[in-house]
Amino acid sequence: MLDIRNLNQFYGESHTLWDVSLTVPTGSCTCLMGRNGMGKTTLLKTMMGLLPAKSGEILFEGNELRKKSPETRALSGIGYVPQGREIFPQLTVEENLKIGLLTRPETQGIIPDRIFELFPVLKQMLKRRGGDLSGGQQQQLAIGRALALNPKLLVLDEPTEGIQPNVVREIGDIIQHLNQTEKLTVLLVEQKLPFARRIAHYFTLLDKGKSVSTGKMDELDDKLIQTYLTV
């Protein structure tokens, strides 16, 4: 579904992504892994068009996205849940969920019922301000906001960061349900190894801005973990 090839990205003079390649097969849950500062967030932002790429290809269902605007990329069917969630704290839950719908007149601004079936707590809290929600609830809101646009690929940047352990399991269950039952393709950045092992089929490891290893999750062995993940 998604094929990134030989992607290069610079922050000013600083070469951050070096010929990075990443494949996300249709229907899979693929986990992008690596230590802090290795380029995972930069890769997702570059893929979404929030940072410019110097060279390379970003193919989504065979269409080249690299020179397309962030809006066009999202409209083509990619839902993005950024690191830190980036919900609007002053807006209500309802307003946060409706933000993305503004770009799609055909939705008539109606939040799909599916969002409340997945996240009943959001229905109870529709009139509460986003900033008043717990970390776990904010993460549900951020995922709900991305799903409101009915994406084909859901991209999540460290969805479990800063969230209580019992809620981490809940978020994992929801991602697994979306992927396995609803057949939504998922690309996930995740540092928590047990979580990644539980929900992902494939991994790609980034090290110093380079994609150094990729494979099925059960091929992520102790040597790779020691070399590229252990702090």
132 touches 88 (CB < 8 A): no
Enumerate residues 6+ apart whose C-beta is below 8 A from 178.
118, 147, 154, 184, 186
21 touches 4 (CB < 8 A): yes
Kindly state the smallest distance separating residue 48's Cβ from ligand ATP, in Å: 13
Closer CB to ligand ATP, 34 or 144, in the complex: 34
Among 5, 11, 132, 215, binds ligand ATP (CB under 6 A): 11
Sheet holding 55-60, edge to edge: 14-24, 2-11, 55-60, 63-64
Token pair belonging to 140: 């549900």
| Stretch 33-72: interaction string toward ligand ATP, x if CB under 6 A | -x-xxxxxxx------------------------------
Task: Name the burial class of residue 221, with classes exposed (0-12), middle (13-18) and buried (19+) by CB atoms within 10 angstroms of its CB.
Answer: exposed
Kindly state the smallest distance separating residue 161's Cβ from ligand ATP, in Å: 9
Number of residues counted as binding ligand ATP (CB under 6 A): 11
Subset of residues 13 to 32 that bind ligand ATP, contact rule: CB under 6 A: 14, 16
Closer CB to ligand ATP, 36 or 226, in the complex: 36
Residues forming the site for ligand ATP (CB under 6 A): 11, 14, 16, 34, 36-42
